[in-house]
Structure formats: structure tokens, C-alpha cells
Amino acid sequence: MSSQKGNVARSRPQKHQNTFSFKNDKFDKTVQTKKINAKLHDGVCQRCKEVLEWRVKYSKYKPLSKPKKCVKCLQKTVKDSYHIMCRPCAYELEVCAKCGKKEDIVIPFNKEPEKTENSENNQRANHRRSCKRNEESDDDLDFDIDLGDTDDNQVD
């Protein structure tokens, strides 16, 4: 029979549970939505990027089911919704892949940090196999001790 100290300590009332912020994945937690939310709008100008982000935010972004025709090379190479040009064309002409104007590109196509990171991880994974990491994260343990073993110390 231990008094439930843990519950008593929680005296702060929750204020304003419903701070309004629109989150589309609140209503639709499909993989597709997650994918779209994680999408990087590269190769477009600031204005187009904002438009794309707006569409994503309000669930108006519709991914392409099949590649669209590029206005430059006339191949069906456009894989991004609302883009009028494929990546190689936009990159070569240094224009926005969505509106086709010569604007400043927010995130250039050639920036692909993920790739290098992956190959590096693979190399390190092999190394790690031989020496298992010994350190356990003791963050959780500390937290438990603070709550339970108060040792006559008054915890405020």
C-alpha cells in the first residue's frame, strides 16, 4: 500500500487543449500523406515552393500517378506534381521546374545530402559490428530514481 505520489504531484491544469493548428495528418494518417508531408520541394522558386507547401498543408497536393510531359524535352519525365518541367531540363536551364521562370531556386536539385549520409552509414555499420556499444542510455533510469527513491528529500 503505497500512496500514489506520482499522481498527486500533477496539479497543473491543462490550459487550452485546442490550440488551433491545422495538421492534415490529423485526419488522414496514410502512408501517402506522410510521404507528401516529408516531400522536399526542390528545384522550384520561392513562390512555387510556398504554393506547394500550401497544397501539402491543406491536403490539396495530389501526387502524380504517372509521369507528366515535360514542356522542354517533351518526354514524360516530370515526376513531381504541378511541375511543368523535368528535373534535368529545369536544372540545365536553371529555371523553376514548376513555373518555368528564371527565379532563384530555393533548394537546388543537385543538393542531395541523404545519399552521402547513407553510404557513410553503411561503412560505419560494418565497423560497429565488431565493437558493440556498451553504454546504455541511462537517461530513463535517472528519471525513475528521481520519482521513486526520494530518500526523504522533499521534491517540489
Interacting residue ranges for Zn ion, rule: CB under 5 A? 45, 48, 70, 72-73, 86, 89, 96, 98-99
Q: How far is the CB of 87 from Zn ion (least distance, A)?
A: 8
CB of residue 100 to Zn ion, shortest distance in Å: 7
How far CA 107 is from CA of 37, 64, 68, 104, 143, in Å, comes to 16, 21, 21, 9, 41
Contact criterion met (CB below 8 Å) for 37 and 27: no
CA–CA gap between residue 101 and residue 39 (Å, rounded): 22
CB-nearer residue toward Zn ion: 55 or 73: 73
Q: Is the CB of 36 or the CB of 52 nearer to Zn ion?
A: 52
Least CB distance to Zn ion at residue 85 (A)? 6
Q: Choose between 36 and 95: whose C-beta lies nearer to Zn ion.
A: 95
Q: Provide φ and ψ at 68, rounded to 5°.
A: -100, 165
